[in-house]
Amino acid sequence: MSNKNKFDIEHLGAPKYKSPMELGKEPGDQLFDFINESNRLVFDLSVDHFHHCLSTGVQPDCMEMAGPREDLFFDAKNVTAAIVTCGGLCPGINNVIRGVVMALHYFYGVKRIIGVPYGYEGLNPEKGHELVELTPEKVNNIHQFGGTFLGSSRGGQDVEIMVDTLEANNVDMLFAIGGDGTLKGVNAIGEEIGRRNAKISVVGIPKTIDNDIDLIDESFGFETAFDVASPILRDAHNEATGAYNGISIIKLMGRDSGFIAASAALAMPVVNFVLIPEMHFSLDGERGFLKALEHRLEQKKHAVIVVAEGAGQHLFQEREEVKDASGNVQHQDIGVFLKEQISAYFKSKETPVTIKYIDPSYIVRCAPANSSDSVYCSRLAYHAVHGAMAGKTKFVASRVNNKYVYIPISEVTKKRKKIDLEDELWFSVLQSTGQPFFLS
């Protein structure tokens, strides 16, 4: 069988240097070993898939294990690395920046690390932002703060100009921390680099608070996001019970995927309805949302509703899509819309209700990483550096099936990850909230 598969990572060329890291090479020496390139991990765990491969002779899709390689493409001590952060904020960005700088400096002895300010804009000289030098001292405490130390911006810049900037600054490797658009952007940069036969490795570290990057277990910052949202739900519940027929509507992030809404509702089981982009629901009708809400109020005199920002877009009359600078579809505000619809419905029924609308989005996204994400960010950063040093390019470092792996950027950007309504996560939410399976 051929070992070639869709998860293979591109390399800039054959390795030329030995790693400066003093690691073990064989089991039993009580030392961590360099990762052998042939050591790969099966992607699909179902035994049915195993049998399918067995009967057809097809190789299973398998992924490269992340970690330090003994043979490097780059001469570590002469490397110039650059880091850029793009798109919206997400807890943990500073942890990743810090981890990349520390790994480059302490593990490989890299002397020159460039911080690109304000996202891809920082790679466009016309924008007038100056590149900054990064050192361990400068980034030592940044993990305790949310936001991005480097600044960010939305949207792309001309790929050729950006590669010009990288070349002009003798950059050997670019670490791009960002979401779907950013990853596609850095992949395009990698392709331009390839066309020029420049030897610059481009690496993505997937950042999306919505947790909608495909294939991977979860994206960093996501656990912090629902950890921060959780006490807000607890208190919103107290808002709801604090008034007769009190209704709290909390809008959480989730443009196309409802992971934060679903997980927050599971984490703080005071929620009665979760509305996510993946589900189709009606407001009206005997089995519609408003009727279900009315039923809830009759029973308990209060209700807590969590709605993902991208939910219920089909409910708006006007369908003209608006895109923001990153190319994401701009959504109408479903939270405000729901508040109005609920208010009108109960007014028509002459039922007094007290509705509170809470939008904690910015509070969630600029929070510092919690401990779990902090660990995750450090390890992602370390692996990203190991991969780049080995000359891999156009890949992301991530975790799949609870193991750290490298995956081609092109694979994780094929589509967005969404909640499968037939999967156990969504089922758990329905179980926990007690909301009807269908609202239409």
- Enumerate residues 6+ apart whose C-beta is below 8 A from 280: 314, 440
Is 214 known to be catalytic? no
CB of 385 to a second copy, least distance (A): 10
CB of 383 to a second copy, least distance (A): 9
- Ligand-binding annotation for 56, yes or no, is no
Q: Say how far apart CA 56 and CA 78 lie, in whole Å.
A: 48
Longest CA–CA separation in the chain, Å: 78
Q: Annotation-wise, does 364 bind a ligand?
A: yes
309: annotated binding-site residue?
A: yes
**Residue 206 pairs with which residues in a beta bridge?**
178
Nearer to a second copy, 341 or 372 (CB): 372
Nearer to a second copy, 10 or 359 (CB): 359
| Residue 235 among known ligand-binding residues | no
Contacts of 228 (CB under 8 A, 6+ apart): 91, 360, 363, 364, 367
Q: Is 147 annotated as a binding residue?
A: no
How far is residue 219's CA from residue 92's CA, in Å, rounded to a whole number? 10
Which spans in 73-135 are helix H?
Answer: 93-102, 108
Question: Distance (Å, rounded) from C-alpha 50 to C-alpha 213?
Answer: 25
Given 210, 212, 227, 256, the catalytic residue: 210
Contact 191, 202 (CB under 8 A): no
Whole-angstrom Cα distance, residue 221 to residue 380? 12
Is 334 assigned to a binding site? no
Q: Which of residues 365 and 416 has its CB atom nearest to a second copy in the complex?
A: 365
Is the Cβ of residue 378 or residue 413 nearer to a second copy in the bound state? 378
The span from the CA of 353 to the CA of 342, in Å, is 9
**Min dist. Cβ of residue 341 to a second copy (A):** 20
Tell me the closest approach of the beta carbon of residue 228 to a second copy, in angstroms.
Answer: 8
CB 428 to a second copy: min, Å? 5
- Considering the complex, state which of residue 7 and residue 345 has its C-beta at the smaller distance from a second copy: 7
Give CA–CA dist 241/301, Å, rounded.
8
Residues in a beta bridge with 330: 322
CA–CA gap between residue 180 and residue 207 (Å, rounded): 8
What is the amino acid identity at position 28?
A: G
Please check if 115 is assigned to a binding site: no
Tokens of 405: 């792996």
**Which parts are annotated binding residues for ATP?**
88, 154-155, 179-182
Q: Which residues are catalytic?
A: 210
**Which parts are annotated binding residues?**
88, 154-155, 179-182, 208-210, 253-255, 309, 362-365
**Which parts are annotated binding residues for Mg(2+)?**
180
**Which parts are annotated binding residues for substrate?**
208-210, 253-255, 309, 362-365
